[in-house]
Amino acid sequence: MTTPSSRYDAIIVGGGHNGLVAAAYLARAGRKTLVLERRPLVGGAAVSEEIFPGFTFSVFSYVVSLLRPEIIRDLHLPRHGLQILPLESTVTPLDNGDYLASWPDADANRRELARHSPRDAEAAVQFGRLMHHMAMAVRPILGMVPPDPASLAPSDLAALLKLGKHFRGLGSERFHALYKLMTMSSADYLDEWYEFDPLKATKAASGIIGTMMGPRSPGSAYVLLHHYMGEIDGAFRAWGFQKGGTGGISNAIASSARAFGAEIRTNATVERVLVKGGRVTGVALANGDEISARVVVSGLDPRRTFLDLVERSEIPDDVVQGIERYKFRGSSGKVNLALSGLPSFTCMPGPGPHMRGAFSISPSLDYLERAYDDAKYGEFSRNPYMDIVIPSMIDPGMAPPGKHVMSIFVQYAPYHLNGGWTDAKREAFGDTVVKTLSRYAPNIESLILHRQVLSPADVERITGLSEGNIFGGELALHQLFFLRPVPQWARYRTPIRGYWQCGAGTHPGGGIMGASGRLAALEIVNGR
């Protein structure tokens, strides 16, 4: 056992993007900060790795838009390598051989939509405005430490009052619209606006990503809104792709944190958080080292934070119960392909600007719903929803010249698979994905040089995210805001003094926002 040369003000457990953001903010506030990351590289689920020689992948998370603009500004991220390249179009191949596309140009887009439904083309304009308002309405909440509605503490009351004032300020029309968005299914919500089913399906797909919900599950509309959130700040103008892959974002944040004076140690697995007399004293590493600190911040998910890193006896029973019933239910898989050339989609053959955008395999609401039905009963979807991008079309450095990398996000691959995930199941899942894709891009199989298939079990094993849930816990209404992860402990604190949480399992949740890390750090700096 080695004794640390100096004591840290704060230790961050886990170098995921939220942990790094928290570290950067703490360092910026003058705290002597140490980040401990189990893996050889930082980023958590936001990493780029050269999985096959010459082919670099955003292994897990692959696109960005939600990263909070204040974080970009405060941490000077562009100076540290943040460079977001546009991902402008989406093409949905249809079962009849046609397609539905969305283009960055408003006229082109309206024309394309009108081709399928003139009414939808008109509705889209008003829908877009409504979603803008909704995102505006939710934005202050994202930047807010959740007040406890049951608390009588002045700070909570003041925050509640502020919240009440905010909602009053929205006016009833928007408040009602927001209420609907919080409670409805995305399919029902979209049914109120649109008639063209593939359009509804492609939009509804945003509402199922990362959740164990179908497009017809009430509550999925909120997830849809969650994905609109990034659009209002003008930070990236919708969705984008980090140069060099998503790991570049993590690296930029890490670089910023270091510049502020934080220390980052990789290959450093935290075994336990040390607690003495209800107060945190430091951490013990897997190699036996103990490092002391006044504050320990866990960037891991709630289960690991509350149940794995500390002794259960340190946590009150009702909190343990609350964490135990917190739902993870990872439902997403990822297939990364190294390709010898560009695929050709039957609906839009050959190369073209659409190759720089996304392909959404979401031909109908029923298609998505049936994909969910499979998952409900413990099977991966026989016909899955897939969100496909070819990052090497946007950033040629991702693959050798002329060759490509393809990222396929797949829904649903339930963590709780009947019989559990095995190598055979994983490959069968990979085969299903490729087979499904080949219905729309027949030449895909002949182009595959290498294939990486990631089940939620793999996501859990590699990143540590419990049950492979990409949001650090389901984004369901009963697990949001002052209920995330559990009532009374939604303000980044834990029942152990000096022990904090800053992962996506806290408000406002996942999706490379960094907001949890920032809010936690600000609470630590201002709070005690």
Partner 1 sequence: MSVSFDVIVIGAGSNGLVAATALAQSGRQVLLLERANVAGGKSRVIEFAPGYRAPSLGIEGGWLPPPIAHGIRLELPGMKGPRIAASVAGVDGTMVHLPQDPSSAAEQIRRHSPRDAARWMGFTARIAKLAGFLEALYLLPPPDLDMRSLADVPGLLGLAKKFRGLGRADMTELLRVMPMPVQDLLDDEFESDALKAIIGATAIRDLRQGPRSGGTSFGLLHWLAGAPAGSVRARGAWRDRPDALTVALETAARKAGVTIRYSAAVANILIRDDAVTGVAITGGEEITAPIVVSTADPARTMALVDPVWLDPEFMRAMQNIRYRGCTSIVHYALDRLPEMAGSPDGVDALSGIVSLSPTLDALERAADAAKYGTIPHAPHIEISIPTLRWPSLAPAGKHVLVARVQYAPWHLRDGHFWDGATASALGRTVTQAIERVIPFSHSAVSVMTPARIEDEYALTQGSITHGELMLDQILFMRPVAGSGRYAMPVDGLYLGGSGAHPGPGVLGGAGWLASRRVLADAKRSPGGWR
Partner 2 sequence: MNRADNINGPETLLRDGAALSSVQSAESNNLRHRCPESAVPPYTPAGGTCPRASDNAPTRRQCQSPSQSRFTVTRDQRTLTAILKTTPFHARTAPLVRAQTWRRWAGYQVASGYEPHPEHEYASIRNSAALIDVSPLYKYLIGGRDAARLLDRMVTRDVAKCAVGRVLYTPWCDAHGKVIDDGTISRLDERTFRLTSAEPNTRWLAMNAVGLDVTVEDASARTGALALQGPLSRAILQQLTNADIGALKYFRLVHTTIRDIPVTISRTGYTGDLGYELWVDAERAIPLWDALIEAGTPYGITPAGIWALDIARIEAGLIMLDVDYFSSHHTIIDDQKSSPFEINLGWAVSADKGPYNGRRVLRAEKARAPQWGFVGLDVRWESLESIYAARALPPQLPTVAWRVSAPVYKDGKQVGYATSGCWSPLLKKYIALAHIAAPYYAVDTPVSLEVTVEHRRNRADAVVTKLPFFDPERKKA
Task: Write out the binding residues for partner 1, residues 206-245 only, by CB under 8 A.
Answer: 213, 216-219
Both structure tokens of 454:
């990631």
Whether the link from the prior residue into 485 is cis, omega within 30° of 0, is: yes
Which residue type, as a one-letter code, is found at position 436? T
Choice from 301, 369, 458, 467 touching partner 1 (CB under 8 A): 369
C-alpha–C-alpha distance, residues 426 and 458, integer Å: 9
Choice from 32, 85, 127, 144 touching partner 2 (CB under 8 A): 127
Choice from 173, 195, 311, 445 touching partner 1 (CB under 8 A): 173
C-alpha–C-alpha distance, residues 61 and 239, integer Å: 13
Assess 461 for contact with partner 2 (CB under 8 A): no
Q: Closest CB to partner 2 among 33 and 411? A: 411
Give the 3-state DSSP-derived string for 442-475, with helices as H, strands as E and coil as C: CCHHHHEEEEEEECHHHHHHHHCCHHHCCCCCCC
C-alpha–C-alpha distance, residues 411 and 330, integer Å: 10
Per-residue contact string for residues 236-255; x = within reach of partner 2 by CB under 8 A: -xxx----------------
Q: Closest CB to partner 2 among 94 and 309? A: 94
Q: Which span sits near partner 2 by CB under 8 A: 196-204, 213-221, 314-322, 397-405?
A: 196-204
Considering only residues 363-402, where is the footprint of partner 2 by CB under 8 A? 387
Task: List the beta strands (DSSP E) in 2-148.
Answer: 8-13, 33-36, 48-52, 55-58, 84-86, 90-93, 99-102
C-alpha–C-alpha distance, residues 367 and 457, integer Å: 25
C-alpha–C-alpha distance, residues 300 and 289, integer Å: 20
Assess 408 for contact with partner 2 (CB under 8 A): no
Choice from 149, 400, 442, 495 touching partner 1 (CB under 8 A): 149
Give the 3-state DSSP-derived string for 57-85, with helices as H, strands as E and coil as C: EECCCCCECCCCHHHHHHCCHHHHCCCEE
The residue count for binding partner 1 (CB under 8 A) is: 39
Assess 180 for contact with partner 1 (CB under 8 A): yes
Assess 383 for contact with partner 1 (CB under 8 A): no
Assess 110 for contact with partner 2 (CB under 8 A): yes
CB of 127 to partner 2, least distance (A): 6
CB of 362 to partner 2, least distance (A): 8
Considering only residues 486-525, where is the footprint of partner 2 by CB under 8 A? 510-511
Q: Which does 133 bind (CB under 5 to 8 A by kind): partner 1, partner 2, none?
A: partner 2
Choice from 82, 121, 142, 273 touching partner 2 (CB under 8 A): 121
Assess 443 for contact with partner 1 (CB under 8 A): no
Q: Which does 176 bind (CB under 5 to 8 A by kind): partner 1, partner 2, none?
A: partner 1
Strand partners, 283: 273, 291
Angle (CA) 159-211-179 rounded to 5° is: 40
C-alpha–C-alpha distance, residues 499 and 297, integer Å: 6
Assess 158 for contact with partner 2 (CB under 8 A): no
C-alpha–C-alpha distance, residues 459 and 474, integer Å: 15
Assess 416 for contact with partner 1 (CB under 8 A): no
Whether the link from the prior residue into 86 is cis, omega within 30° of 0, is: no
Under the rule (CB under 8 A), what is the footprint of partner 1? Answer: 148-151, 167-168, 170-173, 175-177, 179-180, 183-184, 188, 191-192, 213, 216-219, 325, 327, 366, 369, 373, 376-377, 476-478, 482-483, 487-488
